[in-house]
Each structure stands twice: as C-alpha cells, then as structure tokens.
Amino acid sequence: MRVKRAFRVWQRHFTVYTKLYKSSIALNFFEPVLYLAALGLGLGAFVKEINGMPYINFIAPGIIASSSMFAATYECTYGTYVRMTYQKTFDAILATPVNIDDLVAGELMWGAAKSMFYGAIIIAVISLFGLVKSPMILLVVPLLFLTGLIFAEIAMIFTAIVPGIDSFNYFYTLLMTPMFLFSGIFFPVDTLPDVVTKIAFFTPLYHLVNICRSLSQGELFMVRWDIAWICAAAFLLAPYPFRLMQRRIIK
Amino acid sequence: MLISNIIATETPDNKIRPVRNRKKAAVVRWYNQDVEIVKAEGLVKDYGRLRALDGVDFTILSGECFGFLGPNGAGKTTAMGIIYCFMPPTSGTVRVFNMDVGESQSSIKSRIGVMPQEDNLDPDLSVFENLIVYARYFDIPRRDALLRARELLDFVELREKSDVNIRSLSGGMKRRLILARSLINNPELLILDEPTTGLDPHSRRSVWEKLKFLKSKGTTLILTTHYMEEAERLCDRVAIMDAGRITSIDTPSALMAVHGGNLEEVYLKLTGRKLEG
C-alpha cells in the first residue's frame, strides 16, 4: 500500500463530494438537529435532568457521536457498494497504478474524514446553541477521525461479504440501530440490566459517547480508557477490511 | 479501397503531438523491433471449479496489434485481465514489459491503458473531470493533465462535450471517452476489450481510425472482438480461442491461406460450433 495512491482515491471522493455536498449536507445536518429538537426539547420537558445536566445538554454530545458514526457507515456500506458494483468505479481505478490495498485504504480514510467532518458540524451547532460547557469539546475532532475509522472498518467488512445491497438492512437493523439506542446517547446505560452495560462496553459508539459527553463538560482525565479502547479497536480491526475486500474483488 | 480512402481523410494525423512523436515513434519502432511486450507461458486461470484458461502460451511483440478471437466464455477477457494485473494467474508465468504480473503491478499498470468492455466512467463527474481525476491515479501533474485531457478530447472529437455530464452522452461518445481516458498516461500498451461492441457503423469506423493512428505511433495494441472485419482490419496477428485454449495463432492472411475462406469462416471452423451445429 502506498499512502499517495490511497490519497488519490480519497481525492476522487473529495472531488465528487464537493460537487454534490449541497444536497447531501443539508440532509445530514437536518436529521441530528431533528433528534435534538424532538427529544431534547420535547422529551426534555418531562425528564428535566440526568446526572445534574438538563436533558438537552445530556443528549447533545451524543448526537455528535451518532451523526459522526452514521456518516462513516453510510459511506462505507452504500457508498462503497455502489462504487464497487453498479458504477464499476473500482474496476476503473484498479486498471491504474492504484492497487486493491490502496483503494481500500482510500475508502476507509474517506469514511473517517467524512465522519470527522459531520461530527465537527454538530459540535459547531450545539456550541452555537450553548449546549457545551467546555472548549475541550474541540479535542473530540481528531478522535472522531479515529472512531470514524473504526466505523468505516466495520462497515467495509460487511460490504465485502454482503451478497447484495438489500443485505445492508440486516447490518443496520441488527447492529447499528441497537448500538445507536443503547450506547448512552439518550439515557445512561448503567440504568439497564448489567448485561446491556457489558455489551455496550464492546461497542465503539459507547466509548465515543463517553468521550463527547465528558469533554463537553471539560473532563479529560475521565476518558483516558475510552481513548485507549478506540485506539486499540481501530488498530485491531484494520487487517480485516483489506483481507475481505481482496477476497471479494480479486477473482 | 474506396472506403479506406474515405477513412484516410478522417485520420486525425495532427492531433496528438504530431511531428515530434511521429519521428520518435519511428525510432522507437526500429529500436523495439521484436521486443516482447507480453509473454505468457503455461497460463492457467481457475475461478473456483471453472477453468477459464487452460495452459495458454503467447507472446506479443512491440508495436503489433494482437487480437484474441473466440466465443463468449473462451477466456479472452480473463487473458487480458491477467495482463493488466486485474487478477493473478492460478499457475504459469506472465511477464509484461519483462516484469512479473504478480510482483510489479503498479509499475506495469502505469505503462498500460485499458479500455474495458463495459462503461465504468464516473457518473458523478463531467467529461473533462473524468479525465483529470483519472490522470491523478497516474500521478500526472495537474498542468500536464489539463493539457493532455484537452488534446485527448480533440483526438476523440468530444471537445464541445467537455463540461457535459456523463449521463447525457451517447453510447458511441462514451466509448470514445473511455478510449481517451485509457490514453491519459500515454501508454505503451493499450488493452481493448471489445472496443466497438454495440456501436453503430459510423462510430465503429471512427474508433478503428483512432486505433490505427495509435498503432502508427508505435503503441502496442491487444484487443478482443467478435467482429471478424475488425480483426482483419486492425490485427497483425490473432489468437483464436476456444474453451480456455488457444487453437491457433497467426496472421489473419496466413490463417485464411491455411484454412480457406475469409476470417469469419476460419473462426467458425476453428471454434467449430456453428458449422457443425
């Protein structure tokens, strides 16, 4: 794998994105704000406070995490799949000096970059609404790249093994939605039975939500283990998308 | 005779860097005489249980146009895919520019142009952007890429479509754009998988003339085709393939002399299906 060749793939996605961003960014921005308004204000009128925080302040950092997560997974499931099969973009790229490993690396880096970007937008929005206490929230941005990489890796592993585009329904319904609901975005996980807490510990979203929430309160020291967890996960998952995509594409 | 005269007037002989390249091409041709660009020995390719290539040997020389002919599923596309390092051989050796396809993929691919069978242009990009983005994969500096892209759009007569979306191009225009894209890195070897399938006679002629021009510049061409007329017009040598094997390799005229009739009859006789069936 060559970094420069992987960057060429990344650059292709960036070029396409800068052409289409106006339509896609509005939607991606709209959904998280909708959650924030509906749950934060609507439900928040009943819940009042969690852990000493107004409910809307409690879920706002979680929305950074979920928005960032879905940006990476959509990109590396549907986005990658369409490029690989329907558009045959991969075939075109692989006829150039770019090899399969460069291509997969470029896809993952793009997913991670997009994840960071979409998370950063939410950080800007909730800061504007005054829902963030500490400027330490800015430290989340580089970490979003790392968690974005994890989500991209997981998504790409599925993309490499699904028989068809409909199979992503399983991925989203059985994996992403439960993770979205039970990772502490909307309520603290420790109120649930012990087993749920234990499962949550093994999901990247749980740690990202911890990081976002703690840093928005200016508590850096508390999240050192969460940071260690995501560094380890990004590293340990890395070989699989490469291996599986190679098996899928190179006949 | 008459047709070739008409075509000659269409030949775009002052498009791609005219005089300098023609001289250089002549020198290169002389120097490269009989240099082996591709050499395959005992090439076998399996897809699971299916054997697509079953012990194939061939050599392609610098500056020639080499054609693979054969029915669907004969292994033509597989043979070409292995040459441009898209898939590894199951066994046997393939060397391109005297480098092994298993070891030097990027170096080999940087000197090859590929025109695939199906349309894989980038639908989100304009005609011009398709070329520029493709040039980046070859690490061509932006200034050179802009220049080259304009030259190539002139060459394939798509200049006025420069900013148009891919979706609004006709089939013939898409094929020509894919040809232009395959030339972005000034390849020494051009691989064409059914370059004119699905085109109307006029577009087909136009592609043929472009290919003849490239050949006259010294580019080595490898193509697959179902059109015997195409093979007769363009190819110096053809390999007739059937069920993963090469049944014979020779010049079209030698094949016709041995087996009689035109190339189509030779093809039918050697692949043996339709004549008996």
Burial level of B259, CB count in 10 A (0-12/13-18/19+)?
middle
Residue B140's region, left for phi above 0, alpha for psi from -120 to 50, else beta, is beta
Written as six digits, the tokens of A174 are 């059985």
Interface test with B, best of A17, A99, A246, A251 (most B CBs within 10 A): A251
Cα of B250 vs its chain's centroid, Å:
18
Cα angle value A18/A24/A25 (rounded, 5°): 80
Record: contact B137-A96, CB cut-off 8 A = yes
Which chain B residues have a beta carbon less than 8 Å from that of A96?
Answer: 109-110, 134, 137-138, 185
Which ranges in chain A belong to alpha helices (H)? 3-35, 44-47, 55-74, 80-84, 89-94, 100-128, 140-161, 168-170, 177-181, 194-201, 204-216, 224-237, 239-249
User: Residue A92: which of B87, B120, B138 has the nearest Cβ?
Assistant: B120
CA B270 to chain A, closest CA, distance in angstroms equals 29
Taking the C-alpha atoms of residue A243 and residue B101, their distance in angstroms, rounded to an integer, is: 20
CA B137 to chain A, closest CA, distance in angstroms equals 6
**Does the structure show a pLDDT above 90 at A222?**
no
pTM of the model: 0.89
> How do the residues of chain B divide into helix, strand and coil, expressed in percent and rounded to 5?
45, 25, 30
Mean pLDDT for the stretch of residues A193-214: 94
Nearest of A32, A27, A38 to residue A67 by alpha carbon: A32
Mean pLDDT for the stretch of residues A216-235: 93
Which chain A residues have a beta carbon less than 8 Å from that of B124?
Answer: 16, 19-20
Reading chain B (277 residues) residue by residue, the pLDDT tens digits are: 333 333 333 334 433 444 455 566 666 555 555 689 999 999 999 998 999 999 999 999 999 999 999 888 889 999 999 999 999 999 999 999 999 999 999 999 999 999 998 899 999 999 999 999 999 999 999 999 999 999 999 999 999 999 999 999 998 899 999 999 999 999 999 999 999 988 888 889 999 999 999 999 999 999 998 888 889 899 999 999 999 999 999 998 888 887 777 788 788 888 875 544 3
Give the model's pLDDT for residue A35. Answer: 87
Amino acid sitting at position B128: F
- A248 Cβ under 8 Å from any chain B Cβ: no
Record: contact B120-A87, CB cut-off 8 A = yes
Nearest of B269, B251, B271 to residue B260 by alpha carbon: B269
* ipTM entry: 0.90
Record: contact A12-B87, CB cut-off 8 A = no
CA A36 to chain B, closest CA, distance in angstroms equals 33
Taking the C-alpha atoms of residue B171 and residue B119, their distance in angstroms, rounded to an integer, is: 9
CA B213 to chain A, closest CA, distance in angstroms equals 23
Give the model's pLDDT for residue B23. Answer: 62
CA neighbours closer than 13 Å in the CB half-sphere of residue A53 = 20
In Å, how far are A153, A222, B102 from A68, measured between CA atoms? 14, 22, 39
pLDDT tens figures, A177-187: 999 999 999 99
CA A240 to chain B, closest CA, distance in angstroms equals 20
Taking the C-alpha atoms of residue B126 and residue A49, their distance in angstroms, rounded to an integer, is: 53
Nearest of B268, B251, B252, B254 to residue B71 by alpha carbon: B268
Mean pLDDT for the stretch of residues A127-138: 92
Which chain A residues have a beta carbon less than 8 Å from that of B138?
Answer: 96-97
Radius of gyration over every alpha carbon of chain A, rounded to an integer in angstroms:
18
- A128 Cβ under 8 Å from any chain B Cβ: no
Taking the C-alpha atoms of residue A215 and residue A221, their distance in angstroms, rounded to an integer, is: 9
- Bigger pLDDT: A239 vs A221: A239
User: Residue A250: which of B87, B106, B125 has the nearest Cβ?
Assistant: B87
Instruction: Report residue B56: phi and psi, to 5°.
Output: -115, 135
CA A251 to chain B, closest CA, distance in angstroms equals 6
CA B181 to chain A, closest CA, distance in angstroms equals 10
Q: Count CB-CB contacts under 10 A for residue B166.
A: 19
Which chain A residues have a beta carbon less than 8 Å from that of B137?
Answer: 5, 8, 12, 93, 96-98
Strand bridging mode B99-100 / B112-115: unpaired
DSSP assignments along A89-133, one per residue: HHHHHHTSS--HHHHHHHHHHHHHHHHHHHHHHHHHHHHHTT---
Q: In what helix (H) or strand (E) does residue B1 lie, and over which residues does it extend?
A: none
Taking the C-alpha atoms of residue B81 and residue B113, their distance in angstroms, rounded to an integer, is: 12
- A20 Cβ under 8 Å from any chain B Cβ: yes
**Does the structure show a pLDDT above 80 at A21?**
no
Give the model's pLDDT for residue B220. Answer: 96
| CA nearest to A86 within chain B | B120
Record: contact A95-B116, CB cut-off 8 A = yes
- A89 Cβ under 8 Å from any chain B Cβ: yes
Give the model's pLDDT for residue A202. Answer: 94
Record: contact B136-A8, CB cut-off 8 A = yes
CB pairs under 8 A between A and B: 71
Which chain B residues touch A if contact means CB-CB below 8 Å? 47, 84, 86-88, 105-107, 109-110, 112, 114, 116, 118-125, 129, 133-134, 136-139, 181, 185
Mean pLDDT for the stretch of residues A26-32: 77
Give the model's pLDDT for residue B266. Answer: 80
Written as six digits, the tokens of B11 are 């030949």
CA neighbours closer than 13 Å in the CB half-sphere of residue B5 = 2
User: Residue A88: which of B120, B124, B139 has the nearest Cβ?
Assistant: B120
User: Residue B137: which of A88, A98, A250 has the nearest Cβ?
Assistant: A98
CA A19 to chain B, closest CA, distance in angstroms equals 8
Handedness of CA A230, A235, A236, A239 (dihedral sign): positive
| CA nearest to A88 within chain B | B120
